[in-house]
Each structure stands twice: as structure tokens, then as C-alpha cells.
């Protein structure tokens, strides 16, 4: 059974805009999990996956712009992690159209990725800019 993400303080980066976007990301993932379990419509599942990827894409661009403005030195490395996830999700979505239970695996993969990326890479990236706040 797929686990929803429980929002917690461990996700906070200290940047208000990024934290608001992460919080919405968690809500969106949880809503999509609920919808996927409720609706057994493969076309609707792939539409929800597209919505999720488009939000992830927007959020990554926004986070990258904030880090750029702050002068973050490892931005290219961080951007590559974001691009790799979008590529991976996009490639997997092609299969969702033909394999109905792939959607749950895809969400599960995204949940793991979100939790790991946020509590490690994002927090480390914003850490030095929070000192003295
Ligand atoms: Fe990130």
C-alpha cells in the first residue's frame, strides 16, 4: 500500500517561498495518490501524472532561480538532479498509458525522491543562507 507524505518540520529549508512550494508539492502528491486509488481510469491517471510533472518542473525552476539570486555555488549540480528527475518521470509516464499499475510505482518513486532530495540536497543548499536569520 502506498504511503502518503506527512508534512513535517524536517522538510523546512528556511526559505519561505521554497517551503511554501514544497508544502504544496506534498499536498498535490497526496491528492493524486487519493485520486489514483479512487479512480481506475488510465487516461485520468496519465493526466494527473502530467499535472505532477508540470508542477515539479515549475517548482524546480523557481527553486533554481532563488538559489541563483542567492549566489549558490553548486547550482549546476543541483539543477542536474532536478533535470534527471524530470527526465525519469517523463520516461516513466510514457509507460503509464499502457501499464495501469505503474502509476502507483511511479508515485512511490516520486515520494521517495521528494523526501530524500528535500531533507538532504535542498536543506544543505539553503543552509548557509539561513545563518544569522
Ligand atoms: Fe531541489
79 CA from centroid of ligand 1 (Å): 8
Q: Please, what is the Cα angle at 77 between 83 and 71, to 5 degrees? A: 110
Q: Per-residue pLDDT tens for 103-127? A: 778 888 888 899 999 999 999 999 9
Whether 82 and 67 have beta carbons less than 8 Å apart is answered as no
- The pocket of ion ligand 1, defined by CB under 5 A, consists of 122
Name which of 2-6, 28-32, 66-70, 117-121 the model is least confident about: 2-6
**Å from CA of 85 to ligand 1 middle:** 10
| Centre of ligand 1 from the C-alpha of residue 118, in Å | 6
Residues 72-96 as b or e (16 or more Cβ within 10 Å = b): beeeeebbeebeebeeebeebbeeb
User: Ligand 1 centre from 40 Cα, in Å?
Assistant: 32
Question: How far is ligand 1, taken at its centre, from the CA of residue 41, in Å?
Answer: 31
Give the model's confidence band at 95: pLDDT under 50 very low, under 70 low, under 90 confident, else very high.
low
Using a pLDDT cut of 90, give the percent of the chain over it.
56
Amino acid at each position: 500500500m502506498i504511503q502518503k507524505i506527512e508534512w513535517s518540520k524536517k522538510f523546512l529549508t528556511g526559505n519561505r517561498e521554497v517551503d511554501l512550494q514544497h508544502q504544496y508539492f506534498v499536498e498535490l502528491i497526496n491528492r493524486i495518490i487519493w485520486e489514483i486509488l479512487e479512480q481506475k481510469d488510465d487516461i485520468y491517471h496519465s493526466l494527473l501524472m502530467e499535472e505532477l510533472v508540470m508542477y515539479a518542473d515549475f517548482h524546480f525552476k523557481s527553486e533554481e532561480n532563488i538559489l541563483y539570486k542567492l549566489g549558490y555555488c553548486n547550482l549546476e549540480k543541483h539543477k542536474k538532479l532536478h533535470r534527471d528527475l524530470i527526465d525519469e518521470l517523463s520516461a516513466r509516464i510514457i509507460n503509464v498509458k499502457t501499464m495501469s499499475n505503474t502509476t502507483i510505482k511511479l508515485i512511490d518513486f516520486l515520494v521517495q525522491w521528494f523526501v530524500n532530495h528535500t531533507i538532504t540536497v535542498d536543506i544543505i543548499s539553503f543552509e548557509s543562507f539561513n545563518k544569522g536569520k
